[in-house]
């Protein structure tokens, strides 16, 4: 909680200036998203603020490349929100509008992707639907003035409307992101093939964390109580800052295909690769939410898989 207070108290003394950005190179809010594959990529750097992140620019490049080159997502099926001149800024309103775009007119057979790279926080829950008593959040560019986006809202907007035959993959690279989609099942890495119940413990809670027949899968950077690193440890020659989770996730998918001689890439294989990569890394220069400068520390984050329904993690990973 102290970490959240530190981050929320940062103020550079002036309001964020938001220009009218073009959306060249990606889809736009007003366009009807195409059938089949579509993705919403949100990368927040918090430029010129005390808690600025340096790695989200490379995160965007890596994720966009993965979707287009590896999974054949059409360029006009990707909506990008980022602090780069060609895109719309990742404000709270734009992210929420992006959610609506992603879900607009979904039909059986559609494959949806929501990716977020930025800060995440947690706050005391008020709905009795959290096992640990805390709601997880993501922080838009303007979260200090317009607020954070809570896991309850993300679940209501992206998870519950999923109809049968539609699959959503969320890839979340932020602190405290473990159950940020509020999905009812969490995969237990310590007991293989076992899913833990993440449903509300309060019998009076009316919260429903499931879908409307579709399937939601989330791969998060860390457990709810952990921080996620913005680090140069995994870049070539350790020069470029990236989100640790994004970098090793992309490597797991791309590298797994090359190293296994065509053997299918599975959810379990991706999780194993990510955990091994993080555990092998020694002290690195990294920045998490609440850190005002780069510190030398070991990365302590355990990527988490959650889902709206149980499935075999040896299933092939597809987007």
Point out the residues that are catalytic: 119, 175
What is the distance between the alpha carbons of residues 81 and 90, in angstroms, rounded to a whole number? Answer: 5
Which residues does residue 170 pair with via DSSP β-bridges, in sequence order? 114, 218
What is the dihedral angle through the alpha carbons of 272, 274, 278, 280, rounded to the nearest 10 degrees? 50
Which residues does residue 150 pair with via DSSP β-bridges, in sequence order? 137
Which structure tokens are listed for 231? 């680090």
What is the dihedral angle through the alpha carbons of 270, 277, 40, 68, rounded to the nearest 10 degrees? -70
What is the distance between the alpha carbons of residues 180 and 182, in angstroms, rounded to a whole number? Answer: 5
H/E run at residue 152: helix 151-154
Secondary structure (3-state) at 220? strand
Which structure tokens are listed for 100? 């609506």
User: Kindly report the CA angle at 50 between 45 and 52, in degrees rounded to 5?
Assistant: 15
Which structure tokens are listed for 85? 């001149």
What is the distance between the alpha carbons of residues 127 and 148, in angstroms, rounded to a whole number? Answer: 17
What is the C-alpha radius of gyration for the chain, rounded to an integer number of angstroms? 18
Answer yes or no: are the C-beta atoms of 180 and 134 closer than 8 Å.
no
Answer yes or no: are the C-beta atoms of 317 and 250 closer than 8 Å.
no
What is the distance between the alpha carbons of residues 35 and 301, in angstroms, rounded to a whole number? Answer: 36
């Amino acid at each position: 909680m102290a970490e959240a207070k530190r981050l929320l108290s940062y103020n550079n003394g002036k309001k964020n200036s938001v220009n009218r950005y073009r959306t060249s190179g990606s889809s736009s809010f007003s366009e009807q998203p195409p059938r089949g594959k579509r993705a919403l990529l949100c990368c927040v750097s918090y430029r010129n603020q005390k808690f600025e992140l340096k790695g989200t620019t490379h995160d965007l490049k890596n994720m966009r490349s993965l979707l287009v080159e590896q999974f054949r997502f059409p360029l006009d099926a990707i909506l990008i929100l980022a602090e780069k001149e060609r895109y719309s800024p990742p404000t709270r309103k734009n992210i929420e509008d992006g959610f609506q775009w992603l879900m607009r007119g979904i039909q059986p057979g559609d494959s949806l992707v929501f990716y977020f790279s930025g800060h995440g926080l947690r706050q005391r829950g008020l709905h009795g639907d959290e096992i640990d008593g805390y709601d997880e959040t993501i922080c838009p560019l303007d979260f200090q003035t317009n607020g954070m986006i809570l896991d309850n809202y993300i679940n209501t907007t992206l998870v519950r409307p999923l109809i049968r035959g539609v699959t959503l993959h969320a890839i979340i690279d932020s602190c405290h992101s473990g159950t940020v989609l509020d999905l009812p099942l969490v995969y237990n890495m310590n007991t293989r093939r076992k899913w833990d119940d993440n449903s509300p413990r309060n019998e009076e809670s009316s919260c429903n964390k499931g879908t409307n027949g579709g399937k939601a899968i989330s791969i998060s950077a860390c457990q709810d109580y952990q921080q996620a690193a913005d680090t140069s440890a995994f870049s070539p020659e350790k020069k470029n800052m990236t989100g640790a989770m994004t970098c090793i996730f992309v490597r797991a998918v791309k590298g797994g295909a090359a190293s296994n001689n065509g053997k299918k890439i599975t959810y379990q294989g991706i999780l194993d690769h990510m955990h091994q990569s993080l555990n092998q890394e020694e002290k690195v220069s990294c920045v998490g939410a609440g850190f005002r400068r780069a510190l030398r520390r070991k990365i302590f984050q355990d990527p988490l898989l959650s889902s709206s329904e149980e499935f075999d993690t040896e299933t092939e990973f597809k987007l």
